[in-house]
Amino acid sequence: MSKSSSDSKDFLRTIVEQDLKSSKYAEVVTRFPPEPNGFPHIGHAKSICINFGIADDYAGHCNLRMDDTNPTTEDTKYVEALKDAIEWLGFEWEGNVRFTSDYFPKIYDYAVELIKMGKAYVDSTDEEEMRELRGTVKEAGRRSKYAERSIEENLDLFEKMKNGEFKDGEHVLRAKIDMTAANMKMRDPLLYRIRHAHHFRAGDAWCIYPMYDFAHGLSDYIEGVSHSICTLEFENNRDIYNWVLDTLGLTLPRPYQHEFARLGINYTVMSKRKLLELVDGGQVSGWDDPRLPTIAGYKRRGYTPESILSFCDGIGIAKANSMVDVAQLEFSIRDDLNTKVPRVMCVLDPLKVTIGNYEGSEELDASYYPDDVPKEGSRILPFSKEIYIERDDFMENPPKDYFRLTPKQAVRLKHAYIITFKEVIKDADGKIVEIKAVYHPESKSGLDTSGIKVKSAIQWVEAKTAKRVEVRLYDRLFKEEAPEGVEDINPDSLKVIKNALIEPAVITDKPDVRFQFERQGYFYADPIDYTDEKPVFNKIVGLKDSWNKKEKKKAKESTSKSQEKKVQIDGEVVPMSEVQQKLYDKYTTELGLNSEVANTLARDETLSNFYYESLNLSEPSPNPVGLANMVSNEVARELKEKSLDALKFNPIQIGALTKMVENEIISSKIAKQVFEEMVKTGENPTQIVEDKGLVQISDPSKIAPIIDEVMEKNPDNVAKFRAGNTKLLGFFVGQVLKATGGKANPKVVNTLVNEKLK
RNA sequence: UGGGGUAUCGCCAAGCGGUAAGGCACUAGUUUUUGGUACUGGUAUUCGGGGGUUCGAAUCCCUCUACCCCAUCCA
């Protein structure tokens, strides 16, 4: 499926692959879990592609689940829109559509279980007080007095909540976690709230509803989901996700949550709120307005599902917040349609041309597809002395790189004859109303013997047979790259042309619903407003237009962008405490450490203790500088993740490791390898070196032949190096090291390679 | 008492100590009865900044900076 030529995988697929390989899960199960409270947009499409795509790639399956835990915002019409979107994109969900509301009984039972474990309580403080007690990001919160309620009381209250004995907001069920947690989400999060509201599916069966954080993980678990993929803003929620499952003792195979960056596209908005604003405010015609980034909008505009899929495939998946250029989307649809749709001729802004020397009429046979599109099909093109061409395709005083019709320049009528200008006719205001021209009979398309060279072939329609059509030209909805709201709307995002002229075959033969109007762009017969009497076409996307681009560039040539470099400001460093300063001084003066290493060590008590022990207990004692480097780099890394007593190696072993490097028994590269082994097993470095035979090779006579071999295998790079590409030195050293399993002394290799390549 | 993320070309994005992938955009040329397509080239001495470790750093360590997310009884 994934046709991307590189073997690089996104980070999610990497995780899935590892989990499958380690048999963490027998099968990958994902889910697409929207809340049915709005129309899906292209951001959802990305999520759909990820969840269904991963399931497909690894022979698993993907569920569609409506996360319907909030009865006041959700509706079944959104459920239908969501289902439509997925089907349109060509994916199939496993089994029936799932609903979180189907799991309400189970989720309720889990809540009761938590209460029985003393891990949840009914809180009766009002909203305002609760907010106050929660604290702020910089201050710890305090627990409500109701947290002291007995299990029995909680059980009783919770049941009464369920039975509808309380009003909205009177009580909530909360998890008992930690009101002082640095992660705000963990300060006794709400599990259930009372809501006497009609649920679009569950009806009035419930008056308490579980919160997202409680319902989501459990629903995933109930469905046997393995990888719960969501967007970045839920990173903080991952702790609760895990807390719920862990606390309830729900073990593997249980789902784990992974987050990716949501999609942003420039010149549009993606948030439900802003989209709703546009629809409600009448800025657009509805959820399916072709200018909207909704799936319904793209569908109405004429985008193909394939193009959306290839777009999603092209943008990749990562964790960096990003804003994709619309040009990327436009490329996807052009690229898709180019090989698919028939080319026809349509004139948007007609200018009459009368061909003085042509009499009668004829029918030309014209292929729908250019030579480079391997498709068959043609239509009849009527021709006579009266035709229309695009107003843009004639210029009285053209710039010198203008290729179209001018008083001095002939032009070909696509699929027909070459014409030459005779006369221009203007009205009282000086506006051109007609061109008089002559044609060259021997220049007929395909049978041209005229020998006339023209620079371009333009589209045209025959006056009597052309059909009048409405064409809707869409441009970006916003004029700002990162629009805030309605104030940034592009006033010219929709241009309606009522009287465009199109060749008759398009209307009578209907060879397709999507067309390329030659030299203009891709268009789509509007699925709703189109009738045979009044055909309507939507512009999907324009063709790339290097002429137009050139003109525009000329127009704003002096718009010089001041490419200012970002100036980095160095912030203030926290000053050292007295003890740290003393340590620092000792390190730099007595032991001769450089300031950076001394700084790292002095500021970290655990690290400096480790260093101290290693320096004093190791026998024979290693060079303090080398040891400090080892500790402040390698050991520091391990200590970032683990606590001191979780480390498998001890200071004395590190001393021994350093000593080996000092004595040149092993290279520093090998030392890293040995260190890694020590991290895993806690074995002595000398033992590891002995077991694996890692003693370094420094004998030039042993290394030289390997270098020769490498040079022989890479003649290109040898040449490049000799031509001055000195950074290839690293390449050669790397290759030699690889050949020796890393054992060659890199210093020796370096000098040898340098000599040989000179 | 703050915490969690992120930073590689104009825009996406690979890369996980040994030659800075790829796509879009841009650009030059070839082909062309679409100023389209296709094809061939050109586009990062450098990876947010500064230090350090190393023979060798986008990758390891320290530090600074910028941006995003979190204090809904929303999801």
pLDDT tens across A295-336, in order?
Answer: 999 999 999 999 999 999 999 999 999 999 999 999 999 999
pLDDT of residue A505: 98
**DSSP states along A233-271:** GGGGGHHHHHHHHHHTT--SS--EEEEEPPP-BTTS---
Q: Which CA-bearing residue is nearest the C1' of B1?
A: A138
Percent of chain A clearing pLDDT 70 (strictly above): 97
* Through-space separation of residue A261 CA and nucleotide B34 C1' in angstroms: 39
Q: pLDDT (tens digit, 9 = 90+) per residue, A356-382?
A: 999 999 999 999 999 999 999 999 999
**Which nt sits closest to A72, CA to C1'?**
B74
Structure tokens at A19: 């989990």
**A98-99/A227-231 β-pairing:** unpaired
Q: Using the CB atom, is residue A403 less than 7 Å from strand B?
A: yes
**A162 in catalytic set:** no
Q: pLDDT (tens digit, 9 = 90+) per residue, A67-97?
A: 999 999 999 999 999 999 999 999 999 999 9
**Which nt sits closest to A549, CA to C1'?**
B35
* Through-space separation of residue A642 CA and nucleotide B51 C1' in angstroms: 26
pLDDT band, residue A4 (cuts 50/70/90): very low
Among candidate residues A574, A650, A582, A662, the one with its CA nearest the CA of residue A621: A662
Which residues numbered 553-592 in chain A sit less than 7 A from strand B, measured from CB? 553, 566, 568-574
- Cβ atoms A605, A636 nearer than 8 A: no
pLDDT band, residue A572 (cuts 50/70/90): confident
- Residue A474, pLDDT > 60, answer yes
CATH topology of domain A343-543: Ribosomal Protein L25; Chain P (2.40.240)
Q: Using the CB atom, is residue A366 less than 7 Å from strand B?
A: no
- Residue A2, pLDDT > 60, answer no
- Residue A419, pLDDT > 90, answer yes
- Residue A445, pLDDT > 60, answer yes
**A35 in catalytic set:** yes
* Through-space separation of residue A657 CA and nucleotide B3 C1' in angstroms: 37
* Through-space separation of residue A321 CA and nucleotide B8 C1' in angstroms: 14
Residue in the block written with tokens 């200008």: A421
Q: Using the CB atom, is residue A496 less than 7 Å from strand B?
A: no
pLDDT band, residue A719 (cuts 50/70/90): confident
pLDDT band, residue A437 (cuts 50/70/90): very high
Q: Using the CB atom, is residue A636 less than 7 Å from strand B?
A: yes
3-state helix, strand and coil shares in percent for chain A, rounded to the nearest 5: 40, 20, 40
pLDDT band, residue A557 (cuts 50/70/90): very low
Q: pLDDT (tens digit, 9 = 90+) per residue, A28-37?
A: 999 999 999 9
Report yes or no for ipTM above 0.85: yes
pLDDT band, residue A567 (cuts 50/70/90): confident
- Residue A200, pLDDT > 60, answer yes
Which residues numbered 261-280 in chain A sit less than 7 A from strand B, measured from CB? 261
pLDDT of residue A5: 40
- Residue A243, pLDDT > 60, answer yes
pLDDT band, residue A264 (cuts 50/70/90): very high
Which residues numbered 512-551 in chain A sit less than 7 A from strand B, measured from CB? 516, 518-519, 543-550
**A201 in catalytic set:** no
Q: Using the CB atom, is residue A319 less than 7 Å from strand B?
A: yes
Secondary structure class of A421 (helix, strand, coil): strand
> Which range has the worst mean pLDDT, A64-73, A169-178, A561-570, A735-744?
A561-570
Mean pLDDT of A51-60: 98
Which listed CATH number (3.60.130.10, 3.90.1150.10, 1.10.10.10, 3.40.50.620) goes with A11-102+212-264? 3.40.50.620
pLDDT band, residue A569 (cuts 50/70/90): confident
Among candidate residues A52, A43, A36, A35, the one with its CA nearest the CA of residue A86: A52
* Through-space separation of residue A365 CA and nucleotide B31 C1' in angstroms: 25
How far apart CA A485 and CA A502 sit, in angstroms, is 37
Q: Where are the domains of chain A?
A: 11-102+212-264, 118-210, 343-543, 575-692, 700-757
Bases along strand B below 7 A from a protein CB: 1-8, 10-27, 33-38, 45-46, 48-57, 60-75
**Mean pLDDT, chain A, as a whole number?**
94
Catalytic residue among A17, A35, A94, A683: A35
Mean pLDDT of A655-670: 95
pLDDT of residue A725: 83
Q: Which CA-bearing residue is nearest the C1' of B31?
A: A372
How far apart CA A671 and CA A743 sit, in angstroms, is 11
How far apart CA A149 and CA A152 sit, in angstroms, is 8
Which listed CATH number (3.40.720.10, 3.10.350.10, 3.90.800.10, 2.60.40.2480) goes with A118-210? 3.90.800.10
- Cβ atoms A291, A494 nearer than 8 A: yes
Percent of chain A clearing pLDDT 90 (strictly above): 90
pLDDT band, residue A560 (cuts 50/70/90): very low
What angle separates helix A151-162 from helix A104-116, to the nearest 10 degrees? 160
- Cβ atoms A12, A317 nearer than 8 A: yes
- Residue A731, pLDDT > 80, answer yes
Among candidate residues A393, A430, A427, the one with its CA nearest the CA of residue A410: A393
Instruction: Tell me the whole-structure pTM to 2 decimals.
Output: 0.95
**A378-384/A361-367 β-pairing:** antiparallel
Catalytic residue among A272, A436, A586, A669: A272
Catalytic residue among A83, A262, A692, A747: A262
How far apart CA A94 and CA A493 sit, in angstroms, is 40
For residues A730-752, one letter each, b for 16 or more C-beta atoms within 10 angstroms of the residue's C-beta and e for the rest, the string is ebbbebbbebbebbbbbebbeeb
* Through-space separation of residue A605 CA and nucleotide B4 C1' in angstroms: 25
CATH class of A700-757: mainly alpha
Q: Using the CB atom, is residue A370 less than 7 Å from strand B?
A: yes
Which residues numbered 703-722 in chain A sit less than 7 A from strand B, measured from CB? 714, 717, 720
If one compares A617 and A723, the residue with the highest pLDDT of the two is: A617
